[in-house]
Amino acid sequence: MKNYPIALELTVWFDLGLNQYEVVIDGASKISIKRTDDVLHSRELTPSEVEILIHAIEAVKVPITDELEANPSNKASSSYELIIESAHFSLEFNWENLDVEASRLNAFESVVKLASLVQSLDLDH
């Protein structure tokens, strides 16, 4: 079976700004990080990091949740956009911390886990 590169982009908006993470899983896998202040750095991923990422991607489930009731006190402190692409698929997820907190069935668990994993790969953070 042929292996195709996987591209993963995570954008995190939070009170103090914006973080962007770009991950490429291929022959030479790497992660690039860009912050609000435009500081950009990148590094190669270790084989064990690549394996952990692939397992987390394989475990992703599409979150289905109830809509939050309109409430002025419901103000999100962070929001996320996660895009996973390869030759045969493209997945995009958008959520806010309020969505995760309101989910009684942990519907966002797999995408939050993958997003947290990507953020943890930023060893300079």
Tell me what pLDDT residue 46 has.
93
pLDDT per residue over 94-114, tens digit each?
Answer: 999 888 888 888 899 999 999
Write out the DSSP string of 61-121. Answer: -----PPPPP-TT---SEEEEEEEE-SS-EEEEEEEHHHHHH-TT-TTHHHHHHHHHHHHT
The residues spanned by each domain of the chain are 6-120
Question: What is the radius of gyration, based on Cα positions, of the chain?
Answer: 15
Tell me what pLDDT residue 2 has.
64
SS3 51: helix
Its pTM stands at 0.86
pLDDT per residue over 43-99, tens digit each?
Answer: 999 999 999 999 999 999 998 876 767 676 778 889 999 999 999 889 999 999 888
Angle subtended by helix axes 109-120 and 47-58, to nearest 10:
160
Q: How far apart are CA 107 and CA 64, in angstroms?
A: 6
> 108: which DSSP letter?
T
Q: How far apart are CA 76 and CA 106, in angstroms?
A: 18
pLDDT per residue over 5-47, tens digit each?
Answer: 999 999 999 877 889 999 999 988 999 988 876 767 889 999 9
Nearest to 81 by CA among 103, 102, 99: 99
Fold assignment, 6-120: Mago nashi protein (3.30.1560)
CB 93 within 8 A of CB 111: yes
Tell me what pLDDT residue 34 has.
87
